Structure 1
Amino acid sequence: MSPLEPLPTSTSPTKERVAYLDNARYWVMLLVVVGHSLTQFTDMDSARGVYVWIYSFHMPFFILISGYTARRYMGDARQVRRIVSTLVVPYLLVETSLQLITRHYTGEPNPLMILSPQWLAWFLAALFVWRLTTPIWRALRYPITTSILISLLVGLIEVPNVLALPKILGFLPFYVVGLHMSRERFERLAAPRVRAASVALLGSALLICYVYSKHWQTDWLLWKQRYNEDPLRATAIEGMTQRAELLAIGFVLTFAALSLVPRRRSLTTALGGRTFYCYLLHGYLIIFLQLQFDVFDKISRFGFAAVVATTIMAVVVANLLMTSPVATVFRPVFEPRLTWLFRVTPAATKPVAPPTPPAPQTPEQSGQRTAGAG
């Protein structure tokens, strides 16, 4: 990357949504829902390749965009209220309810482990931690290099799963790079030759994953185990080398995907502005279908047809969960105002200009006034 540019110093939010970013959120959310749905079929070669391809860059993509949108975070009162209402509260609600549902069907986890996220709520915890540490990445001289070293080294030590810290530290470079992206850098990705190369790159990656993924250990894509523990069982050098390869692949495929995101407003722009609800809600549906009706196990006997049908249904459900009615119903739940919880921040008042000092007088003017007064 070129030398880092100064990050914004204003905490004021942008006045309107950027179509490109909402389009990017839409497409990556489709990958998230499809990837989570195909998790049930990873034993099948027809699904494993697509699963590995999606997991090699869908979270790096999502995290880099999240880092870019956090560029103005400095920890003022408005931003702290926003974090609590859109990250802390939804995390507690989603993680508690999903663990209760899972325990109802399987008996686990027992006891509940609310601060140890079991599935999709980990990303809310990650955004919370990354956002709070943003001032650090703003202040460091070499933030990207530092974040990469942390990601490579964290797999060498035992890190408790409190707030999904192993994944938070593993994925950290994508967030920090996102913080230091600029609109100009995104625009460079739209060059025709870059887009052509991106199509070839993503297509080749999908083909490679489809052909060779049956020999790969997919747990590397979860970014949470120590290198030397099961099922990774790697030495320190092997672990750091594998993590470095995943970082490189994640960045390359993420930038390739970003180059193909449409810049203009469309239906996907409006849907992409409501991905928050889709992300939180789709997990409930997948868990319910699997634990209550055993749907994925029952249809797996249809092989490739089951994978195609599941992918289509995942796309349909994702689009439905990004519609306006869903947002209207669940906004009070997942984005509560919580006015009762926070202090009233005094409205900013316009500073009063100091009085204008009198104009300097000439000796003649001064003498005339003095004589008149006497």
Structure 2
Amino acid sequence: MPFWDNARFACIVLVVLGHAIQRLIYDSDVAYAFYLAFYAFHMPAFAIISGYFSKSDPPSRRQMVRLITDVLLPYLVFEALWWFTKWLVEGQVDPNLTKPSWTLWFLLALGIFRLVLPYLALLRWPLLWSVLISVGVGYLPNVDSTFSLSRTLGFLPFFVLGWWLREHDIVERLGLLRHRPWWAYAGALALFAIDGWLAWTGIETWREMELRYWFFYDDAYVDLLSHSVWWAGAMRLATLAIGLVLSAAFFVLIPRRQTPWTRLGQYTMYVYLLHSFVLYPFRESGVLRDLEPTWIWLPTVAILSVAVTVLLSTRPVRWLTGPLVEPRARWLFQDPALLPGRRNDPTGSRRPKP
């Protein structure tokens, strides 16, 4: 199904774009509104895709090996690379495996999602429980970015939703990938038009309340609001609902057929793990601050973000960085035969045999 790889590629483009324009949003209302418009849904959509291709059965020995090779080892490798990079650039480093560096939180979240899912699947109404967990964790200031736990539990409903859709065969039974009526496209475009309009017209309010941090699912309510209020969970419910609706609209607009970027969508983890090193010099040097006019620089950065995504997905880059992104580590296992014959992206992409 090319659809899922197309969706992965679109998601990773938005990830790179979001990180690329982050410095622009401090000086430009247009950039900030654009940022909010897609930050509301791009990681929820990514989590839904990952959940769709996850299994709730007790993990087999081979699946446990894959959790180590696909998630844990790349996390350790790239944390070490970040420590080295910060030591070179900043002259100091504070090694701490419990605090994921920049983008590595999602890799850790994928591992935790997989560990938690078999237990949630044993319960009645697992989707409801995941929502209660997401809303409830915001009331607990002691659940923070350690092991990315606050963010992971915040995004948990989207991952569980993806699994639930596959578990109950919803997509196939409703024929959601076989046929889309014209009104579905019209409705999706209308939703994004409303999304953009609200992001722009309310920009002063969104800046004042620092809305973007609500879409990170990373902070406790008391930190986001500067004080504790009982109704703060309603804000989390609202962000979950917005993420769900916009993710649905996003999936409606994704092509179902083979496209030039379909194959690139099978290697999103390469882009996810590598793009931050490409953007780091620009992010830290300040060259993306005070760029005017916005109508030139915002499209320029957007085009460059797509170019970076494509470049990091190409075969030469994968060949060069493969041992880091997808370490084999045969020496680590008692039974190397448990290692998979061919690798798949941790988000669930099934790659063709070489």
TM (norm. structure 2) is: 0.86
Report the Cα distance in structure 2 between the residues aligned to 1:266 and 1:95, rounded to whole angstroms: 34
Q: Distance in 1 between matches of 2:307 and 2:337?
A: 45
**Other-structure match for 1:95:** 79
The SS at the match of 1:134 is helix
Contact 2:37 2:196 in 1 (8 A): yes
User: Residue 197 in 1 paired to residue 170 in 2?
Assistant: no
Partner of 2:286: 294
Match of 2:214 in 1: 220
Secondary structure of 2:332's partner? coil
Q: 1:8-27 counterparts in 2 under 5 A?
A: 18-27=1-10
Counterpart for residue 171 of structure 1: 155
User: After superposition, where does 1:280-359 map in structure 2 within 5 Å?
Assistant: 280-291=273-284, 293-297=285-289, 300-344=291-335
Determine the structure 1 residue equivalent to 2:347: none
1:143 counterpart residue number: 126
Separation in 1, partners of 2:266, 2:330:
24
Distance 2:218 2:334 in 1: 38
Q: Does the 8 Å CA contact 1:48/1:214 hold for their aligned counterparts?
A: no
Q: After TM superposition, list the pairs within 5 Å mapping 1:1-374 onto structure 2.
A: 18-43=1-26, 44-71=28-55, 74-106=58-90, 110-157=93-140, 158-182=142-166, 184-185=170-171, 187-188=175-176, 190-192=179-181, 193-216=183-206, 217=210, 218-229=212-223, 231-291=224-284, 293-297=285-289, 300-344=291-335
Q: In 1, Cα distance between the equivalents of 2:314 and 2:205?
A: 39
The answer on whether the counterparts of 1:56 and 1:221 sit within 8 Å (CA) in structure 2 is yes
Contact 1:156 1:236 in 2 (8 A): no
Shift of 1:78: 1.2
Query: 1:145 offset after TM fit, Å?
Result: 0.6
Would the aligned equivalents of 1:277 and 1:321 in 2 still touch at CA under 8 Å? yes
- Name the CA shift for 1:50/1:29 in 2 (closer, same or farther; >3 Å): same
| C-alpha displacement of 1:118 | 3.2
Check the 8 A contact 2:49/2:162 in 1, yes or no: yes
SS in 1 for 2:222: coil
Which amino acid in 2 is paired with 1:315? V
Alignment check: 8 A CA contact 2:191 2:246 kept: yes
Report the Cα offset of residue 70 of structure 1.
Answer: 0.8
C-alpha contact 2:189 2:249 (8 A) present in aligned 1: yes
In structure 2, relative to structure 1, the CA distance for the partners of 1:345 and 1:294 (3 Å cut) is closer
Q: Which runs of 5+ in 2 are unaligned?
A: 339-354
SS of the residue corresponding to residue 141 of structure 1 reads: coil
**1:121-156, CA deviations, whole angstroms, 9 ceiling, x for partnerless residues?**
000000011111121122111101101001111011
TM-score norm. by structure 1 comes to 0.82
Equivalent position amino acid for 1:70 in 2:
S
The amino acid that maps onto 1:98 is: W
Cα 1:289/1:199, change in 2 over 3 Å: same
- Conserved 8 A contact 1:73-1:131: no
AA of the residue aligned to 2:171: R
Task: Tell me if structure 2 keeps the 8 A contact 1:219–1:232.
Answer: no
Q: Distance in 2 between matches of 1:69 and 1:174?
A: 13
- Deviation (angstroms), 1:295: 2.4
> SS of the residue aligned with 1:340?
helix
d(CA) in 1 for partners of 2:90 and 2:74?
Answer: 24
Match of 2:346 in 1: none
Structure with greater Cα Rg: 1
In the TM superposition, residue 57 of structure 1 has moved relative to its aligned partner by 0.3
Aligned to 1:368: none
Contact kept? 2:50, 2:162, Cα under 8 Å: yes
SS in 2 for 1:114: coil
Structure with higher RCO (Cα < 8 A, 6+ apart): 2
Contact 1:33 1:318 in 2 (8 A): yes
Post-superposition shift, 1:345?
Answer: 7.0
Structure 1 counterpart SS, 2:112: helix
- Whichever residue aligns with residue 43 of structure 2, its letter is M
Rounded Cα–Cα distance in structure 2 between residues aligned with 1:345 and 1:102: 34
Taking only the aligned residue pairs, the percentage that are identical comes to 32
CA contact under 8 A between 1:281 and 1:321: conserved in structure 2?
yes
Contact 1:68 1:178 in 2 (8 A): yes
The answer for unaligned runs of 5 or more in structure 1 is 1-17, 348-374
